[in-house]
Structure 1
Amino acid sequence: MAGQIEPPAATPEELRALSHPLSWRILRLCLDRAWTNQQLAERLDVAPATLLRRLRILTSTGFVVAEEPRRGPKGAWEHPYRATKKTWRLNLEPGSDRHLTAKVDLAILDAHRAEISENDPSVPQHTRRAVLRLDARDQAELNSRVDALLEEFAGREKSDQAPIAILWNAVERHEPPGRP
């Protein structure tokens, strides 16, 4: 889109922080409210030490911030964490390390799949898959329009509504030799 500022490219350290599905699950949960290490570990069925390691990585790269410590229900001090939305402002496209970028892509897919599998089957879903044959200009336009549409709807968010998980992935399919 004309006049749109290109987001900064993710650093290798940031890509490594995002290369695990647990990172994306944490970011998703901590987007709407602050969670403690213990709360996240219980919700995601992960050992607290594993979760804390991942939180420290996400904190050191600026994807989550620690809020002020607070007293928990039993009087102990808790350290809540909240997502910064930094991933919304980063270019996660392939850089110099395509292998690392591919790991991030797979981590995003795994985290999204986990959210779908945990969802109540009676909750409505809208799923579409398509294969399009577009030149580079049309591919860029499609991605730009999807980005703009998501930005537009992000501006309409209402805090009292249920969050919707959206995953957009456009990847070129390579056909095996000899196939149309």
Structure 2
Amino acid sequence: MASGIRLRIIRLTYSEALTNKELAERLDRDPATTLHHVRKLVDTGFLEALPPRRGTRGAKEIPYRSTGLSWHLDSRDRGIDQAIFEAYLAEIADVGFDEVQQTRLVVQVPDEQITEFETRLMELVDDFMSRPVDPEAKRTAIYLSKYPSR
């Protein structure tokens, strides 16, 4: 999973099933390279293949959808933290900085309250993650990073 492109594929297929060709177009990647990543994601349970459908020219296409397994990735797993950041930077490059709302905040939380702080942040994320997906709703991406401020 330590691949920014794989994380982007998972994100793209979260609320919309996409074929390998559609993924390659959205990621501006070669379809063969994208298919390699799609197959790995299917093999590891992060994507599921849906029933085949006919494309615009009658060719058989297989749409893929995220299984939600990626919600449970641990950023302490080898390489995943760098892949998350890589995916974030690529997504920002795609939309452009004019579309990004950014802020930087340094908080001073006593050691005995840091677990509560982290838990409450994750509860908010988990709450929105567990809600039904509205396919008509505008997609919003969030990148959250916590680190010691020196």
RMSD: 2.1
**Pairwise CA distance, 1:45:** 1.4
Q: C-alpha distance in 2, partners of 1:157/1:37?
A: 22
**Pairwise CA distance, 1:69:** 0.9
Counterpart in 1 of 2:121? 146
Write the deviation string for residues 53-105 of structure 1: whole angstroms up to 9, x where unpaired: 111111111110000111111011011100011112x250425xxxx1xx211
Match for residue 87 of structure 2 among 111, 125, 132: 111
Q: How does 1:1-180 map to 2 (within 5 A)?
A: 18-88=1-71, 90-94=72-76, 100=78, 103-119=79-95, 122-123=98-99, 125-154=100-129, 155=131, 158-172=134-148, 175=150
**Which 4+ stretches in 1 moved above 6 angstroms?**
none
**Larger deviation, residues 152-161 vs 79-88:** 152-161
Q: C-alpha distance in 2, partners of 1:136/1:25?
A: 34
The structure whose Rg is larger is 1
Unmatched 5+ residue regions in structure 1?
1-17, 176-180
Write the deviation string for residues 90-133 of structure 1: whole angstroms up to 9, x where unpaired: 250425xxxx1xx211111111122122115554x432222334
State how many pairs are aligned. Answer: 149
Output the TM-score relative to the length of structure 2: 0.86
Q: 1:76 to 1:158 in 2, by over 3 A?
A: closer
Q: 1:24 to 1:66 in 2, by over 3 A?
A: same
What secondary structure, in the 3-state scheme, does the structure 2 residue paired with 1:170 have?
coil
